[in-house]
Amino acid sequence: MTDTDTKNEKNKKPERSMGSRMGIAALILSASIFLSRILGFLREAVIAYTHGASYATDAYYAAFTLPDLMSYFLAGGTLSITFIPLFSSYIAKDDEEGAWELFSTVATTMGAFLLVFVVALELLAPYVVPKLNPGFADDPRQLALAIEMTRIVIPAQICFYIGGLIQATLFVREVFWPSALAPLIYNICIILGGVLLEPFIGIKGFSVGVVVGAMLGPLLLPLWAARSRVKFRFRFAPNDEDFKAFVLLSLPLMIGVSLVTVDEWLLRYFGSMSADGAITWLNNARKMMLVLFAIIGQAAGQAALPYLTRLYHEGKEAEMGQMLATSLQRVGFLSLVAAAGLIVTAEPLIWLVFQRGEFTPADATQTANLLVFFAFGLFAWASQALVVRGFYARKNTLTPMFIGTAVVAVSLPIYWWLYREHNVEGLALATSIGISLNALTTVIVYRLRTGALPLKSVAAGLSRGLLYAVACGGAAWGVRRLLTPYLDIANTLENIGLLGAMAVAFFGAGALLTVFLRPPEVEVVLKRVLQKFG
């Protein structure tokens, strides 16, 4: 070896481990999801300010049910689950041509089917929407508005589907920034559509913004990012072997049901039979909880799948199980702490975000009450999103389908009974109970089927998370009780001051515990941040 070679070898930076790269990817996606959710709440706040919690807002949120159903039954919302393992298998064999032929076949064939569905649902919307929202039949004005906005939103699914395919190819190559920016563009377009078109078409402007945002963000941005990589040619081939494999992998997700998706439909279904604004209360509270779920659980799951898939293809079962257990340990710890924060800050937080304009104090109080019930399920949401990726990495979508369908069947009576007994609060509680059953069953079945999911470290992480949740939540709650006589949450500045004081107490208690306990879940997050920005 020459002196120059030796020098270059010394200067060469060591390649990061797979776990390190997965952690950094999760941080990137978490930061993106956080910003996207902030914009999402700005969007919801604009809707609340201009239309409150009313028949119009209920119709707007209900307008997404039929497009979501179409996306679900075509596996459009799960492309990263079904397409990544197949595309990765070609890349692992250095078969670029085969990988892009698969892409071309799926994009062309499923795209054609999707187009047929879009046209059919545009025609059938007046007949289907009343079935999905039976309570709207009592208000022809609300029903007509829901049908019209449904028809506006449906074509956006084409953009989501094709864009999702392109994003999946980028994920395999560890290119995450388009997926990070796409939701930001999407939310900005919805806000602009609502604000700019409000004087002309009212709340329907937000629906127009959905279509424009879906085109610019989820579709065109990843297409531009992959412009030098994508090798597409029109290939309608429903009998192609690779396409059949894709359909077989997707079929359980198409015909099965999962509470992760069905929950939102059930809330809209039962909410349509409650008071005006019920769907809006449930939507706003649920989305507030899902902000933290997306940052903690969804980002971890999205980042983990490509790496888990690679380990599975390399035959590293033990390493795969350890990576999944370690991720579950960290996600469990963080989600328990985050849930405690949501519970103690629910009322001032909802008042700060939503209570203004047409969104009344009664609406804010009702939404805050629902948020508390939703927050109890945060740990289950985050854990479910991560563990199920272990099945998907193995190209096993059948087992999660059976689990999800069984849990939905068990949960339906729970939703019905709790709604009858406790109205919308019962629905929020049913969500947390149902998703907890789903997550627990998924973990148990995965452990029994693979035997490669060590749970001792997970249990330790949950114990530490529970300790932090009680200590941090208790400190914040004590500050709330102390300052309530002096700070009014109806006053925006005083509310911000109250939340700031509670945050200081919450994180102060956490910092104090960290000094004495030095939990690995906190240290690893700090390490990832330093790796990314240092």
Does position 185 have pLDDT exceeding 50, yes or no? yes
Residues 529 and 429 in one domain: yes
Residue 8 lies in a domain: no
**pLDDT for the residue 377:** 95
Does position 231 have pLDDT exceeding 50, yes or no? yes
**pLDDT for the residue 78:** 58
pLDDT above 90: percentage of residues in the chain:
54
Question: Are 359 and 52 spatial neighbours (Cβ–Cβ below 8 Å)?
Answer: yes
Residues 199 and 299 in one domain: no
Cα distances (angstroms) measured from residue 373 to each of 203, 264, 295, 354, 365: 29, 15, 19, 18, 13
- The most confident of 87-101, 109-123, 288-302, 394-408, by mean pLDDT: 109-123
Residues 209 and 325 in one domain: no
Cα distances (angstroms) measured from residue 78 to each of 73, 81, 468: 10, 5, 34
Q: Which domain holds residue 511?
A: 257-534
Does position 262 have pLDDT exceeding 90, yes or no? no
**pLDDT for the residue 9:** 45
Helix (H) or strand (E) holding 290: helix 278-293
Does position 13 have pLDDT exceeding 50, yes or no? no
When divided into structural domains, the chain yields a total of: 2
pLDDT band at 302, cuts 50/70/90? Answer: low
Region 498-507: mean pLDDT is: 97
| Neighbour-count burial of 474, counting CB atoms closer than 10 A to its CB (0-12 exposed, 13-18 middle, 19+ buried) | middle
- The most confident of 17-21, 27-31, 451-455, 464-468, by mean pLDDT: 464-468
Q: Quickly list DSSP for 244-263.
A: HHHHHHHHHHHHS--HHHHH
Does position 179 have pLDDT exceeding 90, yes or no? no
Residue 9 lies in a domain: no
Question: What is the crossing angle of helices 361-375 and 278-293, to 10°?
Answer: 40
Region 435-444: mean pLDDT is: 94
Region 198-213: mean pLDDT is: 95
Q: What is the b/e burial string over 38-65, where b = at least 16 CB atoms within 10 angstroms of the residue's CB?
A: ebbbebbbbbbebbbbbbbbbbbbbbbb
Among the three residues 228, 255, 282, which one is the final residue of a domain in this structure? 255
**pLDDT for the residue 198:** 92
Q: Which of 297, 273, 271 is nearest to 283 (CA)?
A: 271
Residue 132 lies in a domain: yes
Residues 264 and 215 in one domain: no
DSSP state of 13: P
Residues 208 and 168 in one domain: yes
Region 451-473: mean pLDDT is: 92
Residues 248 and 294 in one domain: no
Does position 124 have pLDDT exceeding 60, yes or no? yes
Residue 1 lies in a domain: no
Give me 136's structure tokens: 């709207």
Residues 188 and 303 in one domain: no
Which is more confidently placed, 255 or 204?
Answer: 204
pLDDT band at 395, cuts 50/70/90? Answer: confident
| Neighbour-count burial of 224, counting CB atoms closer than 10 A to its CB (0-12 exposed, 13-18 middle, 19+ buried) | exposed
Region 360-367: mean pLDDT is: 94
**pLDDT for the residue 316:** 84
Residue 11 lies in a domain: no
Residue 353 lies in a domain: yes
From the CA atom positions of the chain, what is the Rg in Å?
23
Question: Are 367 and 281 spatial neighbours (Cβ–Cβ below 8 Å)?
Answer: yes
Residues 241 and 265 in one domain: no
Per-residue pLDDT tens digits for 17-51: 555 555 565 566 666 667 777 787 788 889 998 89
Residues 365 and 239 in one domain: no
Among the three residues 204, 223, 255, which one is the final residue of a domain in this structure? 255
**pLDDT for the residue 346:** 97
**Residue 97, number of CB atoms within 10 A of its CB:** 9
Angle at 482 between CA 478 and CA 484, to 5 degrees: 115
Average confidence score pLDDT of the chain: 87
Q: Quickly list DSSP for 48-111.
A: HHHH-SSHHHHHHHHTTHHHHHHHHHTTGGGHHHHHHHHHHHHHHTT-HHHHHHHHHHHHHHHH
Per-residue pLDDT tens digits for 319-359: 888 888 888 998 899 999 999 999 999 999 999 989 988 89
pLDDT above 70: percentage of residues in the chain:
88
Residues 460 and 527 in one domain: yes
Alpha carbon distance 457, 330 (integer Å):
10
Residues 274 and 298 in one domain: yes
The contacts of residue 70 (CB under 8 Å, 6+ apart) are 76, 114, 117, 118, 121, 154, 157
DSSP state of 134: G
Does position 3 have pLDDT exceeding 90, yes or no? no
Distance of CA 68 to the CA centre of its chain: 14
Residue 180 lies in a domain: yes
pLDDT band at 118, cuts 50/70/90? Answer: very high
Residues 166 and 244 in one domain: yes
Region 293-314: mean pLDDT is: 77
Among the three residues 195, 230, 255, which one is the final residue of a domain in this structure? 255
Give me 218's structure tokens: 């989820």
Residue 208 lies in a domain: yes
Global confidence as pTM: 0.80
**pLDDT for the residue 393:** 84
The contacts of residue 82 (CB under 8 Å, 6+ apart) are 75, 246, 249, 250, 253, 392, 397
Give me 387's structure tokens: 């563990």
Give me 448's structure tokens: 């029994």
